[in-house]
Amino acid sequence: MRENNGSYVMFSIHAEELRDEEGALDYLIIGIKNENAFPEIDALTDLYSETRYVEDLEKLIAAGEKFAVLQIHVEGFSTFNLIYGRDFSNELLRAIALKFIYMMDMDKAVYRLERERFVFILKKAGREELLTFEQEVRSTLDAGIMVQGELHPLKMGAVAVRAFFWSISPL
């Protein structure tokens, strides 16, 4: 929906049909969600969103600070979605996010991108710190995530970004 000032408000609409034993429609449930309510927080996982990631990245670059970026995806996640369904997959994403939150400190932040992709910013980090943290993330997923009383070992997909930015001096 476009507002008078030219900005857009994004909504998602979800509908669910509830039917009786004979298959006749009993209820039609429609949910409308304002997706712009908290654009810096991912609604599903409570992690920082991609919007916040871009903002934080721009701030670090503008400040000329040293940092590292680690972007990952969870391998085979679509299989969980197909076998167990979307509700289970969402619960699994929330459990992964919680594990990642516990790995954070003052110099680390985690963001959820789309689907099962996550990105971490490590402030003041160089190559060795990034590689150590990458192994920590990998080990966390390998150890498994508990969902609905079962431990689900996961694999970290190929690291999509391994970038280092060092202090940039103006010319």
* The most confident of 4-18, 62-76, 96-110, 149-163, by mean pLDDT: 96-110
Kindly report the pTM of this predicted structure: 0.73
Compute φ and ψ for 144, nearest 5 degrees: 100, 160
The percent of residues above 70 in pLDDT, for the chain, comes to 83
pLDDT for the residue numbered 3: 63
Residue 139 reports pLDDT greater than 70? yes
Q: How many degrees, rounded to 5, is the angle at CA 163 between CA 159 and CA 164? A: 145
- Kindly list the structural domains of the chain, giving each domain's residue range(s) and its CATH number in brackets, ordered by start: 1-37 (no CATH), 50-165 (3.30.70.270)
CB 142 within 8 A of CB 154: yes
**Distance between first and last Cα of the chain:** 44
- Distance, in Å, from the CA atom of 148 to the CA atom of 106, rounded to the nearest integer, reads 31
